[in-house]
Amino acid sequence: MPLTTYLDAIREAMVEEMRRDPRVFLIGEDVGSYGGAFKTSAGMIEEFGAERVIDTPISEVAIVGAASGAALMGMRPIAEMQFIDFITCAYDMLVNFTATSRYRVGSGCPIVVRGPAGGGTHGGPFHSLNPEAMFMNRPGLKIVAPGTAYDAKGLLKSAIRDDDPVLFIEHKFLYRRIKEELPADDYIVPIGKANVRRSGKDLTIITWGSMIYVADDAAAELAKDRVSVEVIDLRSILPFDEEAILNSVAKTNRVIILHEAPLTGGAGAEFAARIAEKAFDYLDAPIKRIAALDVPTPYSPPLEAFYLPDREKVIAAARELLRY
C-alpha cells in the first residue's frame, strides 16, 4: 500500500467524513479554489462544491462564529485557521460562547477548529504558535494534538463526530515529513487515550505532537547506555489520559514532560501537578519539564533551533534525573 503523509491523512479524514455525513462542511480562508494555504483541502471544492467548502473573508471570529451558529442548527462544521496563531482573534467566541453552549443551553456545539501550529519552519512569532495552554483552562473544549499520520486521521474523525467543540492542533513541520501506511477501512482514534510509543523502566517522557520524535531520538541514544526510556504520546491534551501518566510514573519513578510551547504556564505544568498530587510517593527524582524558552518564536533559523527543545536537551535532563 502507498504511504500517506500527515497532511494527506488530514485531508482523507475530512473527505471521508463529508462523504459519510452531509452535515459536515469545511469553512475558512482560501480552503476552496486555492485548496488551503498548505493544500490540506486540495480538490475538495471540486467534489463537494462551494456550499460545503466555503471560502471566507480574513476574519477568524467570523469563521468560528458562523461555524458555531451552524453547529447549533444541526450542522458539523470544520473551521480552518490558516495558521493556528490567528485563533486568538476568535478566542472570545470560542471560550465564552462555543465552549459554554452545553452548560448554558443544554446543547452541544459540535465544531472542529483545526489549523497548522508549531515551529521548526522559520515562521517567526506570527506563524509558530502552540496554543494548547491558553485553551486548557476553559471548560467545554477538547484539545487534541496528533503526532502521526495514523493519529491525525483517526483523531480528526473522532473530533468531527464529537458532540462538543474540539480544537485540533496539527503540526505543520510534520505535514509532508511523516508518512505511514494507513488502514483501508474506516477507523477512529478515541479522544482522551494516550499511546505508549516505547516501553521502558528507568524514565518516562510524556509528550505530544512533533515532540514525540525528539523523545524517540533521545530514548534511542540513551538506550546505547542501557537506559530504558518509556515514551508516552498523550495525543489528547484535554481530556488527557491520567491513568497512563500515573501508571508509567509508578513504573519508572522518574519523569520528563516535554512540549514545544514555552515553559511558563505550559500544559506540562498541569501534568506535573497531577503527578505531584497523585504519584508523589513513586518519584525518585524531581519532575523535569523541557520546553521552549519564554520568548516569542525567533525567525532566525539558528535562534529558533536554540529556542526549541531538542534531543540534546532531553538527554541532558535524563542523565541529570538518573544521577539524582
Residue 227, domain CATH: 3.40.50.920
User: Is the domain of 159 the same as that of 295?
Assistant: no
Phi, psi (5° rounding) for residue 292?
A: -70, 165
pLDDT band at 260 (very low <50, low <70, confident <90, very high): very high
Range(s) of the domain holding residue 147: 4-180
pLDDT band at 30 (very low <50, low <70, confident <90, very high): very high
Residue 188 lies in a domain: no
| Rounded mean pLDDT, 171-196 | 97
pLDDT band at 1 (very low <50, low <70, confident <90, very high): confident
User: Is the domain of 161 the same as that of 48?
Assistant: yes
User: Is the domain of 151 the same as that of 223?
Assistant: no
Q: How far apart are CA 32 and CA 39, in angstroms?
A: 10
Residue 189 lies in a domain: no
Of 145, 180, 215, which closes a domain?
180
Residue 187 lies in a domain: no
What does pTM read for this prediction? Answer: 0.97
User: Is the domain of 133 the same as that of 207?
Assistant: no
User: Is the domain of 176 the same as that of 205?
Assistant: no
Q: Chain centroid to CA 45: how far? A: 26
Taking only the tens place, the pLDDT of each residue in 275-303 is 999 999 999 999 999 999 999 999 999 99
DSSP annotation string for 4-72: EEHHHHHHHHHHHHHHH-TTEEEEETT-STT--TTSTTTTHHHHH-TTTEEE--S-HHHHHHHHHHHHH
User: Is the domain of 144 the same as that of 210?
Assistant: no
What's the grid cell of residue 28? 475558512
Burial of 270 (0-12, 13-18, 19+ CB in 10 A): middle
User: Is the domain of 207 the same as that of 151?
Assistant: no
Supply the pLDDT for residue 93. Answer: 97
- Whether residue 265 is predicted with pLDDT greater than 90 in this model: the reply is yes
User: Is the domain of 223 the same as that of 308?
Assistant: yes
Taking only the tens place, the pLDDT of each residue in 100-150 is 999 999 999 999 999 999 999 999 999 999 999 999 999 999 999 999 999
Number of CB atoms found within 10 A of residue 126's CB: 12
User: Is the domain of 207 the same as that of 91?
Assistant: no
User: Is the domain of 137 the same as that of 249?
Assistant: no
Residue 241 lies in a domain: yes
Q: Domain of 28: which CATH number?
A: 3.40.50.970
Number of CB atoms found within 10 A of residue 246's CB: 16
| Rounded mean pLDDT, 43-65 | 97
Taking only the tens place, the pLDDT of each residue in 120-129 is 999 999 999 9
* Number of folded domains that form the chain: 2
Of 180, 211, 231, which closes a domain?
180
User: Is the domain of 264 the same as that of 288?
Assistant: yes
Give the list of residues 6+ apart from residue 74 with CB closer than 8 angstroms, or none.
23
Q: What is the dihedral of CA 149, 150, 151, 152, to 10 degrees?
A: 40
Of 180, 214, 244, which closes a domain?
180
Taking only the tens place, the pLDDT of each residue in 228-243 is 999 999 999 999 999 9
User: Is the domain of 12 the same as that of 157?
Assistant: yes
Residue 186 lies in a domain: no
| Rounded mean pLDDT, 182-209 | 97
Alpha-carbon radius of gyration of the chain: 19
Residue 309 lies in a domain: yes
127 belongs to the catalytic site: yes
Residue 300 lies in a domain: yes
